[in-house]
Amino acid sequence: MPALDPDAQAVSALLREAVKLVAAGHPAKAVIDARRAIEVADTVFGALNASNAAMKLITDIPPNDRTQEERFALLRHALFSLASPPAHGDPKAEQFTWSREAALVVISAVASLMAVRSDAGRTTGQP
């Protein structure tokens, strides 16, 4: 992901650290860093409206009628939700098994979403 400013560099640094944590055998910690990258990216690129209320409204829209922005908001919401249990230890978190592969899926998906958001910001001047 191109570094746009210090905050964008922080997103990149978190994702690089996440990959290092996977390599060191700490996939759950890596997922936490990927989640942090989403939070930082929201401040860098502008938050996609991914609140629970917004997700309910979006899912009520027939899939073929959803805008690209709405679809990316769903993806951001799903990634954040998937990456949240190791950070919070919610009741279901103990049932999660974070393998190397599972952590890399989350990291690569977050990196891909951030790249799209970064590119959209450069192309249109908006996130």
Please classify residue 21 by burial: count the beta carbons closer than 10 Å to its beta carbon, then call 0-12 exposed, 13-18 middle and 19+ buried. buried
1, part of any domain:
no
Considering its fold, how many domains does the chain have in total? Answer: 1
66, part of any domain:
yes
* Per-residue pLDDT tens digits for 57-115: 889 999 999 999 889 888 988 999 999 887 777 777 788 889 999 999 999 999 998 88
34, part of any domain:
yes
14, part of any domain:
yes
CATH code of the domain in which 33 resides: 1.20.120
Residue-number span of the structural domain to which 54 is assigned:
6-90+98-124
Is residue 54 within 8 A of residue 80, CB to CB? The reply is no
69, part of any domain:
yes
pTM, whole model, 2 decimals? 0.81
